[in-house]
Chains A and B, each alone.
Chain A
Amino acid sequence: MQKSSSPRKSKKILPVGHYRGLGGWTVFFFIFLYLPIVVLIFYSFNANRMVMNWGGFGFEWYLKAFQNEDIQKAVWNSLIVATVSTIFATAIATIGALVLARGGNFRGKTVSLGLITLPLMVPEIVTAVAVLIFFSAIGMNWGLGNVIIAHITFCIPFAFMPIRARLEGMDTSLEQAARDLYASEWETFRYVTVPLLMPGIVAGAMLAFVISMDDFIITLMVGGAGSTTLPVYIYSMIRRGLTPEINAVSTVLLLVSIGIVTAYWVVSKKSQTDTVH
């Protein structure tokens, strides 16, 4: 009878390199994922008018993009929409998370939780059409205001999740300790709950900001003339014909997103290190 290998050996986790050809697949996967973006960035420095004909290295499309008043207007709109909807969405998400995590057991708690996170699952086009029909049904036409309201609604679940996760991980005995040490409910919230929740709030806000900045479908549907945001403007530029200007604008937008995601990562990393047991 053949001796079976020792159990210690068979339980050992195999390093991924053990699977032949996996390295090649991994490289292919990353190329598949990032090559288009690398090409986009590369041609943003193209000195030629035609996107796909390389005419030497240059920054002229960046300069052109920065001087384009329509782009400036679109960036400005995007920033206003993202900032205002982030503030409102984060505030609402914080209150919601506090009620769900600290409000004890109440009727409809599970349903509320489901309803808050459901928008993550609903196809965006459905939300977009619904919001559009709703606004026209009640005859609301506040231009950028419509866009902001729509953004607040779909940003709430994104802001909600990190805040709730942080709250769930927070020991309620810290708040009890504050009450025990003569802090009123408000003082407990102000001096203990909020400072400890801050990493979650910041992470939620940044997530909401990125989601709002990048949104296209809902903005396209809801936004009328004059409330064009950057993603919608880029789309309209493409329809008029490709120029490296689009590449330049997209690259800048990409950098802003990467910057915010990195900041989000750093903040959540920090919140892990000073964990509240």
Chain B
Amino acid sequence: MTTAIDIRGITKIYNPESNQPVKALDDVSLTINDNEFFTLLGPSGCGKTTLLRLIAGFEQVSGGEIMLFGEEIENLEPNRRPVNTVFQHYALFPHMTVADNVAFGLERLKKPKNEIVATVERVLTLVKMKHLGDRRPNQLSGGQQQRVALARALAPSPKVLLLDEPLSALDLKLRQAMREELKQLQKETGITFVFVTHDQEEALAMSDRIAVMSDGEVQQIGGPTDIYEHPVNRFVADFIGDTNFLDGEIVAVNDDLVTCRLGSNSMFEAENSGAHKIGDQVTLFLRPEKISLSAVGATNGQDTRPGKVANMTYLGNQAAYTVDMGDGIELTAQARPQENGKLPFAIGDSLAVGFSARALRVLAQ
């Protein structure tokens, strides 16, 4: 597999000479493969956009190297880097038509005129905007502007396409539709996409691999299921999806299972992720959808624990239940409404709570 971008020990400090220097990136290293949909995911201020702007060349690195297909680019001007950017607010040139916007990069590259015309037509067709080539950007809807911004960035056939939260300005339905299209576009063009977002759902839905970032550092890199099922620390587990965290102490270690004491004396078995010993203070995590809730006596012989509904939030397609397990332990779990729309449990109901030891994982502190 070819490496598209190799980030080697990048550090970025804003206002280094002032008395309030801000460290946006701290010794970040990662590699992005060719023809990959790679996502930088994290809360605002985690450094994901800074990293994208360093690759594009809008900011100067304070230390480290950026290699693009084996070529060092971190000191090149933005116009010398064969990468293009889709900006968060599109940044379409308001004084030019859609077609002129798309042709801008090709004209600067001094492509022959007939080639420019053909390419503009091809990419506008690709994003389904061919019929609106004569319009001005302010005559287009948000979704249409988004497509033009994509077409403009794709027209010069960049080696890597950088996308800075491009879907954040669109409404929910459009955002979901554009997810599919972006993923499709990446496959069709074979161009490496580097996508920045703070939306974990978006990241899980589109990415081949995700880098979860926080406080200027990469926390974990992996495929969507890796990140969701095997988060390396509490931050990643918390940022991606809903999670139950349970703090306890390891009291027994088997080959593949550990036993933890939670609360005063509740024992929970969890998958052994290795390197844990008796007496370690650990955090267990358990995804709500891994917990089954059933009425007392209707458990089909499954191993369950007793619980009581403490709170409930109705979400339409499901309801989120807070279940009091006794001993100061609370779990969040989900249940689907019945076919007639009635919710299976009410606040105060007693329940049988079931989950496998394989679903409980020990997180590094």
Contact = CB atoms under 8 A, between A and B. Distances in A.
Interface stretch (B79-87, B117-125, B253-261, B309-317): B79-87
Interface stretch (B101-109, B291-299, B329-337): B101-109
A173 B254 CA distance: 57
A181 B87 contact: no
A176 interface: yes
Given A183-B79, A187-B108, A173 B91 contact: yes
A173 B89 contact: yes
Contacts of A187: 108
Residue of B57, B79, B85, B138 with highest tally of chain A CB at under 10 A: B79
B94 A180 contact: no
B142 to A, nearest CB: 11
B58 interface: yes
B344 to A, nearest CB: 44
B58 A182 contact: no
Contacts of B79: 179-184
A69 interface: no
B342 interface: no
Given A176-B58, A176-B78, A177-B85, A182 B109 contact: yes
Given A182-B109, A182-B156, A183-B108, A173 B95 contact: no
B345 interface: no
Contacts of A177: 85, 87, 91-93
A55 interface: no
A174 B93 CA distance: 7
A187 B93 CA distance: 14
B91 A181 contact: no
B117 to A, nearest CB: 17
B193 to A, nearest CB: 15
A255 to B, nearest CB: 32
A70 interface: no
A194 to B, nearest CB: 10
B108 A174 contact: no
B152 interface: yes
B91 A274 contact: no
Contact of B78 (A174, A180, A192): A180
B238 interface: no
B280 interface: no
Interface residues of B, number: 25
B77 interface: yes
A191 to B, nearest CB: 8
B54 interface: no
Interface string A192-213: 1001100000000000000000
Contacts of B57: 179-180
Interface string A161-186: 00000000001011011111111100
B95 A274 contact: yes
Interface string A234-264: 0000000000000000000000000000000
Contact of A179 (B78, B88, B93, B153): B78
B85 A276 contact: no
B61 interface: no
A277 interface: yes
Nearest to B164: A173
Given A173-B87, A187-B108, A274-B138, A180 B56 contact: yes
Given A178-B104, A181-B105, A195 B77 contact: no
A78 B109 CA distance: 47
A181 B108 contact: yes
Contacts of A176: 56, 58, 78, 85, 87, 91
A192 to B, nearest CB: 6
Contacts of A171: 89, 91
Nearest to A274: B94
A173 B77 CA distance: 16
Which 3 A/B pairs are nearest by Cβ-Cβ distance?
A181-B105, A182-B108, A179-B78
Interface of B: 56-58, 77-79, 83-85, 87-89, 91-95, 104-105, 108-109, 138, 152-153, 156
Interface of A: 171, 173-174, 176-184, 187, 191-192, 195-196, 274, 276-277
Given A179-B78, A184-B79, 4 more contacts: A180-B58, A180-B83, A181-B79, A277-B89
19 contacts: A173-B87, A173-B88, A174-B91, A174-B94, A176-B91, A179-B57, A179-B78, A179-B79, A180-B84, A181-B79, A181-B84, A181-B105, A182-B79, A182-B108, A182-B156, A183-B104, A184-B77, A184-B108, A274-B94
